[in-house]
């Protein structure tokens, strides 16, 4: 693929001087430009992302992300399989947050079925699963970000808790990664006996362990030095690029679909003030830097724990699947439903002509939108900063390519 990387050497001069002024001495020396093919097989790209970079020594002067190495035609498949059959495909775009994907797709299809009532217990279990999955996803984001920065141990600490989370999902639906558990009309089956109690225990233990993450990595002096003032996304830029999720909140924009467009049970939670939206404050550096984004993710985990506890207090026995026929025919119409995925707004736009098979299933993936900002952020950063910036966007390539 013949690609020209846009040369930003003219705009370099501003981006080189950061608020701390630490990088000034790089201005003195110039070497001939080096084109570095970063990925698709690279330990720090979190999958098969490829970034073509132009570097002047350690300083990046141009960067262009290339997508498509994991393209599996998920949206096209949606036009040729039955409504319910498409559910397993949703697991596979953001494979770290499959529960949330299931939820987003199910809610989009349910929006076309006006008569359908989702049992309250199903909504509760859905919320618990989605929030536990958010914790698991943020644990991966946090752990692999430590790897990117060069700290290996937090990764294993994060996996310790994630393992339990996955064991919980294994108990409720039999799968550890691609669940297909939340489905149109409710959830697949009821929670096994003792499962809710175990979730409560998980919440208690996680709260203790979570403090370790903050001490070990987030507040670590070297980590702060590496991430504060690096990859700053100002508020306007975040809005311009349509960033969502922790990427947006890290830049100080107070926006969370769970609160601003409440779906499922989140409206009730808001009345109870059950959770807060974590917004970056620029505590260690400039607002919108890599540290703020990580901080948002780590603290969001605790908010998810609050939500899970809220559900555990109120869950009651009852049915878990609404009145869904064996052969699902969705009334004609179109619907867009966006939910707050761990990485931002996951939107599903579905069109039905009244048949068994969808006419259009369009996905708005948060990673795809968030990755666009890299082209703007990387020029002016060092190679090591590039790793920090890519890690802080927390892309899942399965979702950018679908």
Partner 1 sequence: MDGGNIFLTLLQKVAPEGVPAWVLALTAAVVGIAILVGFVSVLVMFAVWLERKVSGHIQCRYGPMYAGGWHGWAQSVADGVKLLAKEDLIPLGADKPLFVLAPALMLAAIFGALAAMPLSPSVYFTNLNLGLFAILAMSSMTTIGVVMAGWASNSKWALYGSMREAAQVVAYEIPFGISLLVPLMVIGTFNLGEASARQAGWFGMHWVMFQNPFVLPAFLLFFTAALAETKRAPFDLPESESELVAGFMTEYSGIRWSFFFLEEYAAMFLMSVVGAVFFLGGFESPLTHFARESFGAGSVVHEVTAGVTLLLKAMFGIFLMMWLRWTLPRVRIDQVMTMGYKYLTPLALLCVLGAGIWEAIF
Binding to partner 1 by residue 214, rule CB under 8 A?
no
Site for partner 1 in 3-22 (CB under 8 A): 22
Between 385 and 399, CB nearer to partner 1: 385
Between 148 and 340, CB nearer to partner 1: 148
Question: For tokens 């949206």, what's the residue?
Answer: 75
Between 34 and 200, CB nearer to partner 1: 34
Which of 5, 84, 99, 149 binds partner 1 (CB under 8 A)? It is 149
Between 261 and 382, CB nearer to partner 1: 382
What is the Cα–Cα distance from 106 to 90, expressed in whole angstroms? 10
Query: Under a CB-based contact definition with an 8 Å cutoff, are residues 98 and 342 in contact?
Result: no
Cα 47 to chain centroid distance, Å, stands at 14
Angle between helices 120-149 and 290-314 (to 10 degrees): 150
Which of 103, 130, 217, 373 binds partner 1 (CB under 8 A)? It is 217
Give, in order, the Cα–Cα distances in Å from 12 to each of 7, 65, 69, 233, 315. Answer: 9, 19, 30, 16, 56
Binding to partner 1 by residue 225, rule CB under 8 A?
yes
Give, in order, the Cα–Cα distances in Å from 188 to each of 102, 103, 174, 180, 319. Answer: 11, 12, 11, 8, 11
Binding to partner 1 by residue 222, rule CB under 8 A?
yes
Write the interaction track for partner 1 spanning residues 165-204; mark x where CB under 8 A is met and - where it is not: ----------------------------------------
- Cβ at position 338, least distance to partner 1 in Å: 33
- Cβ at position 198, least distance to partner 1 in Å: 20
User: Which range binds partner 1 by CB under 8 A, 65-73, 108-116, 148-156, 291-299?
Assistant: 148-156
- In the chain the first and final C-alpha atoms are separated, in Å, by 21
Query: Under a CB-based contact definition with an 8 Å cutoff, are residues 344 and 369 in contact?
Result: yes
Which of 23, 92, 183, 402 binds partner 1 (CB under 8 A)? It is 23
Q: What residues contact 211, with CB distance under 8 A and at least 6 apart?
A: none
What is the Cα–Cα distance from 397 to 30, expressed in whole angstroms? 34
What is the Cα–Cα distance from 6 to 361, expressed in whole angstroms? 34
Strand partners, 114: none
Residues that contact partner 1, how many (by CB under 8 A)? 36
Q: What residues contact 67, with CB distance under 8 A and at least 6 apart?
A: 49, 368, 371, 397, 400, 401
Binding to partner 1 by residue 36, rule CB under 8 A?
yes
Cα 69 to chain centroid distance, Å, stands at 19
- Cβ at position 193, least distance to partner 1 in Å: 29
User: Which range binds partner 1 by CB under 8 A, 72-80, 215-223, 234-242, 343-351?
Assistant: 215-223
What is the Cα–Cα distance from 298 to 78, expressed in whole angstroms? 34
Which of 89, 157, 202, 299 binds partner 1 (CB under 8 A)? It is 157
What is the Cα–Cα distance from 82 to 93, expressed in whole angstroms? 18
Between 151 and 239, CB nearer to partner 1: 151
Binding to partner 1 by residue 387, rule CB under 8 A?
yes
Helices (H) and strands (E) in the chain, counts: 17, 8
User: Which range binds partner 1 by CB under 8 A, 155-163, 166-174, 372-380, 394-402?
Assistant: 155-163
- Cβ at position 12, least distance to partner 1 in Å: 16
Interaction site with partner 1 (CB under 8 A): 22-23, 25-26, 34, 36-37, 42-44, 57-58, 146-153, 155-157, 160, 216-217, 220, 222-223, 225-226, 382-385, 387
């Amino acid at each position: 693929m013949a690609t020209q990387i846009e040369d930003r050497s003219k705009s370099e001069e501003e981006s080189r001087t950061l608020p701390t002024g630490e990088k000034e001495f790089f201005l003195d020396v110039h070497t001939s430009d080096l084109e570095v093919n970063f990925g698709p097989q690279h330990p720090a790209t979190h999958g098969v992302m490829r970034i073509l970079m132009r570097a002047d020594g350690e300083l990046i002067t141009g960067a262009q992300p290339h997508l498509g190495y994991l393209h599996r035609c998920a949206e096209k498949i949606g036009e040729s399989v039955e409504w319910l059959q498409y559910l397993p495909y949703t697991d596979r775009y953001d494979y770290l947050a499959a529960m949330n994907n299931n939820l987003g797709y199910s809610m989009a299809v349910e929006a076309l079925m006006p008569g359908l009532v989702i049992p309250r217990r199903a909504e509760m279990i859905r919320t618990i699963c989605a929030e536990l999955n958010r914790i698991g996803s943020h644990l991966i984001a946090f752990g692999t970000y430590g790897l990117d920065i060069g700290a290996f141990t937090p990764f294993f600490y994060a996996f310790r808790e994630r393992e339990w989370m996955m064991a919980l999902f294994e108990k409720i639906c039999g799968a550890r990664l691609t669940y297909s558990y939340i489905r149109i009309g409710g959830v697949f089956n009821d929670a096994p006996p003792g499962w809710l109690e175990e979730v409560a225990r998980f919440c208690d233990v996680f709260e203790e362990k979570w403090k370790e993450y903050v001490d070990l990595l987030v507040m670590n002096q070297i980590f702060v030095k590496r991430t504060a003032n690096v990859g700053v996304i100002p508020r306007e830029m975040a809005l311009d690029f349509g960033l969502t999720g922790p990427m947006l909140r890290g830049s100080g924009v107070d926006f969370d679909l769970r609160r601003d467009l409440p779906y499922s049970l989140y409206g009730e939670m808001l009345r109870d003030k059950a959770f807060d939206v974590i917004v970056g404050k620029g505590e260690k550096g400039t607002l919108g830097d890599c540290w703020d984004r990580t901080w948002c993710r780590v603290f969001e985990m605790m908010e998810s724990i609050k939500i899970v506890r809220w559900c555990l207090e109120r869950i009651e026995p009852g049915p878990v699947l609404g009145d869904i026929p064996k052969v699902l025919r969705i009334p004609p119409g179109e619907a867009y439903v966006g939910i707050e995925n761990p990485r931002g707004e996951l939107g599903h736009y579905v069109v039905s002509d009244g048949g068994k098979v969808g006419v259009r299933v369009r996905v708005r993936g948060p990673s795809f939108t968030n990755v666009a900002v890299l082209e703007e952020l990387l020029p002016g950063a060092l190679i090591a900063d590039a790793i920090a910036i890519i890690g802080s966007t927390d892309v899942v390539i399965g979702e950018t390519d679908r």
